[in-house]
Amino acid sequence: MIVLEQAMLTPEAKSSQPTGDETGRVGAPMSDTTKRLIDCHVHLAALPDGSNGCYISPRMLKSPLFRFLLWKHNLSPHHPQQANRKYLDDLLNELRASRLVQKAVLLGMDGIYDEAGRPDRSRTEFLVANDYVFHTVRAYPDWFLAGPSINPQRRDAIEEVHRCAETGAVLVKVLPNSQGFDPADRRYRPFYRALVECHLPLLSHVGYELSLNRIDQSLGDPDRLRTALDEGVTVIAAHACSYGLMVYERFFPTLRTLCATYPNFYADISSLTQPHRLKMLLLLRRHPELHDRLLFGTDYPLSVFSMAAWGRVDLRTLAHLIRTKNRFDRQALVCRELGLGFRSIEKILCQSARKVSSE
């Protein structure tokens, strides 16, 4: 695995690197010009262009999510290379313009596999190839880190963990609801042990999946992550374990239990300003004992809303949040102003890099 500790900070950020891990905590000095955060949850979307290894089904291309994405970024599905370039340029421009976020972990999306571990293209609706993720990160190492996706069902899953680690991955992303595997299945213990051996955190979707195909929504239960946690994997539960169904947050007790039980358990705050996850944001702001386990993330390219702050901050602050158009900055500022503490994933990644360099 490539040693990434120095690569995680841009030259500009190194000169102002904070001591400790106070980057995004409530009450910590985080002015609107403190470019220190790493976004651990940014999606690399791509249309298949014949060479990037990506795939999107005709049904998915017609879905509301992708229609919105194409409209939002003014992309044409008939010109995939230009569309992919435009999406990447838009992401880079917004990240560069951010006053608070210095880097983003780009996430891949693995497909579905059959019982023999072979790719099942008939059930796969969206795939962002790991090699495309690495290619993009290599092109812009000052701005991106690699978060490939590996479905543990694939017959070469362990080999892919080692390959991705050696290529420079900083974490592995999974989406059990859509990739069709049960994280609690003990057959995947060798996969989890490979992650531990390679010092790679596991970022797993939690809750209902509303954007991609859903094979089994029950697979988004964070309690199913205990198998990985018991094997020693550093687990990051996406969306702070939000159930994702508006006012009902059934996984909040599970979040508290996992934080109390496992020192290797974290959760990211991605998408918490979205209306369907707003309840979790409002719950978490009242539980500062959990804030040390929360990591900054946006779920880019999804929108970031300021509605959670309405009636909860003064008018001047609310006006500032509304005027903040940069999604990276708005996510950090809305959560901070609501009293939600969080940290950057940087410390976790640096600890992993130090472990690798000492071996």
Tens-place pLDDT, residues 258-273: 999 999 999 999 999 9
Q: Going by DSSP bridges, is the β-strand pair 55-56/126-127 parallel, antiparallel, or unpaired?
A: antiparallel
Number of Cβ within 10 Å of residue 352's Cβ equals: 22
Task: Note the Cα 346 to chain centre separation in Å.
Answer: 13
How far is residue 32's CA from residue 326's CA, in Å, rounded to a whole number? 12
H or E segment to which residue 144 belongs: strand 144-147
DSSP assignment letter at 122: T
DSSP code at position 100: S
List, for residues 40-89, the tens digit of each pLDDT value. 999 999 999 999 999 999 888 888 878 888 888 888 889 999 999 999 99
Give the closest residue to 6 by CA, choosing from 145, 118, 135: 145
pLDDT greater than 60 at residue 173? yes
* pLDDT in the model for residue 211: 67
Integer Cα distance of 231 and 15 in angstroms: 37
Calpha distance 210→220 (Å, rounded): 12
Beta bridge partners of residue 250, listed in sequence order: none
pLDDT of residue 70: 86
pLDDT of 5 above 50: no
* Residue-range domains of the chain with CATH: 6-13+35-358 (3.20.20.140)
Per-residue pLDDT for 358 more than 80? no
Q: How far apart are the first and last CA of the chain?
A: 11
Tens of pLDDT, residues 288-346: 999 999 999 999 999 999 999 999 999 999 999 999 999 999 999 999 999 999 999 99
Nearest to 40 by CA among 129, 99, 131, 103: 103
**What percentage of the chain reaches a pLDDT higher than 70?**
87
User: Cβ distance 206 to 169 under 8 Å?
Assistant: no
Indicate the pTM of the whole model. Answer: 0.90
pLDDT of residue 16: 37
Residue 232, classed as helix, strand or coil, is coil
The tokens 């980057």 sit on which residue? 23
184, 119, 201: which is closest to 156 by C-alpha? 119
Distance CA 293, CA 174 (A): 19
Q: Is the pLDDT of residue 2 over 50?
A: no
- d(CA 327, CA 335) in angstroms, rounded, equals 12
Mean pLDDT score across all residues of the chain: 89
Q: Is the peptide bond before 64 cis (omega within 30 degrees of 0)?
A: no
Indicate if the pLDDT at residue 13 is higher than 70. Answer: no
Give the three-class secondary structure for 126.
Answer: strand
Amino acid occupying residue 335: C
Copy the structure tokens of residue 192. Answer: 């989890």
